[in-house]
Every structure is written in C-alpha cells, then in structure tokens.
C-alpha cells in the first residue's frame, strides 16, 4: 500500500491543509479535517494538491509526516486548517527514533501496560445519544459529539467499565 503526504491549498483563500491518503487518485481526496471541511463548505470545494512524499513503509512515512507537521507548524499557524499533528495514519505515531508513541487523548504512555492501566482507572462517560464511550479528558468540549449535542436529551453519562480489560 502506498501512503501519500500532501498539501491541499484552497485556490480562493490560500488556506493550507496537510493530509494523507492511500488512494491512487490522491488529487481528488478532499481531506477529513473538521476545520478544512468547514472551510470547503463555506468557500467552495476548490483546491490544488501538492504531493510531498510517498512511501510503502508506514514507519518511515509517519516520521516524515510528523517532521513536516512540526516544520510547517500546522497546529499553531493560522495559515493551516490542521488542528492536530499529522502522524501518517499509522497504528501509532512514531518518535524521532522510529519508536511507537502510545497515546490516549493528550497523554503519552511509555508502554501498552501503562495505557491499559490508565484506561482501567480513568473516569469513563457514555454519550446518551450514540452510546460512544470515552474518558473524561477525551470528551472535554464534546468535539466528537457536535451532532449529538444538538439532539434533545444529550448528556455524557458516567459509565462503569466493570473491569472489561
């Protein structure tokens, strides 16, 4: 499978978006970022695509994606629509040495056991509309539930994991 890292640039406003895809026809891929999608709806679906890098090796690809994200400062710059660092879409992002970084929300774990322990002891909540479950830190702002928030009866209900790990 070939992974492709691209910069999408809106032809009218100049807003940029760093994204990845495995599609053969990568020019037609519109991107999946929330802010980028809102921008396309508001200003029209017109963009150019610049292919930055492609590889079959997901670990190498992830390194390049993270490095480019930092180089372009895509999260902090108003010129970019990205809200998180692009990690290449791999199972886990990798650090500079190619080691996997395990994350849950913004917390970084040094091992899978540490991540599982966090999941066991964290406060969990469940969406009353769609049933999605997440830790307390993950649902701050309910970003994943913007559609659910608009429905009557929406609330995040405390949920007991019942030692499911």
| Tens-place pLDDT, residues 124-143 | 777 777 766 666 655 444 44
Q: How far is CA 64 from the centre of its chain?
A: 16
Angstrom CA distances, 143 to 71, 130, 146, stand at 26, 14, 6
Between the alpha carbon of residue 104 and those of residues 7, 118, 131, 162, the distances in Å are: 27, 9, 19, 20
* Mean of the per-residue pLDDT values of the chain: 76
The mean pLDDT of 135-156, rounded to a whole number, is 60
pLDDT at 160: 65
Instruction: Please check whether residue 81 lies inside any domain of the structure.
Output: no
Instruction: Please indicate, yes or no, if residue 56 is contained in any of the structural domains.
Output: yes
Tens of pLDDT, residues 73-95? 888 888 999 888 887 764 444 45
Q: Distance of CA 63 to CAs 58, 100, 102, 109, 151, Å?
A: 9, 10, 15, 18, 40
Residue 51 token pair: 């292919």
Boundary (domain end) residue, out of 23, 56, 72? 72
Tell me, yes or no, whether 65 and 11 share the same domain.
yes
Q: Count up the domains in the chain and report the number.
A: 2
What's the confidence (pLDDT) of residue 92? 47
Give the domain extent around 31: 3-72
- The answer to whether residue 51 sits within a structural domain is yes
Q: Residue 162: CB partners within 8 Å, gap ≥ 6?
A: none
* Integer Cα distance of 139 and 68 in angstroms: 28
Residues 108 and 60 in one domain: no
Residue 83 resides in a domain: no
């Amino acid at each position: 499978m070939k992974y492709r890292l691209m910069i999408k640039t809106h032809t009218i406003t100049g807003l940029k978006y760093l994204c990845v895809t495995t599609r053969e026809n990568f020019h037609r891929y519109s991107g999946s970022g929330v802010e980028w999608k809102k921008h396309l709806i508001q200003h029209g679906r017109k963009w150019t695509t610049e292919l930055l890098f492609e590889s079959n090796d997901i670990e190498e690809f992830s390194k390049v994606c993270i490095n480019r994200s930092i180089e372009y400062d895509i999260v902090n710059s108003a010129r970019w629509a990205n809200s998180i660092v692009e990690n290449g879409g791999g199972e886990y992002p990798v650090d500079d040495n190619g080691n996997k970084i395990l994350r849950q929300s913004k917390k970084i774990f040094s091992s899978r056991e540490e991540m599982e322990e966090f999941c066991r002891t964290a406060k969990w909540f469940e969406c009353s509309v769609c049933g999605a479950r997440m830790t307390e830190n993950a649902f701050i702002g309910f970003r994943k539930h913007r559609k659910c928030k608009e429905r009557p009866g929406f609330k995040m209900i405390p949920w007991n994991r019942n030692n499911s790990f």
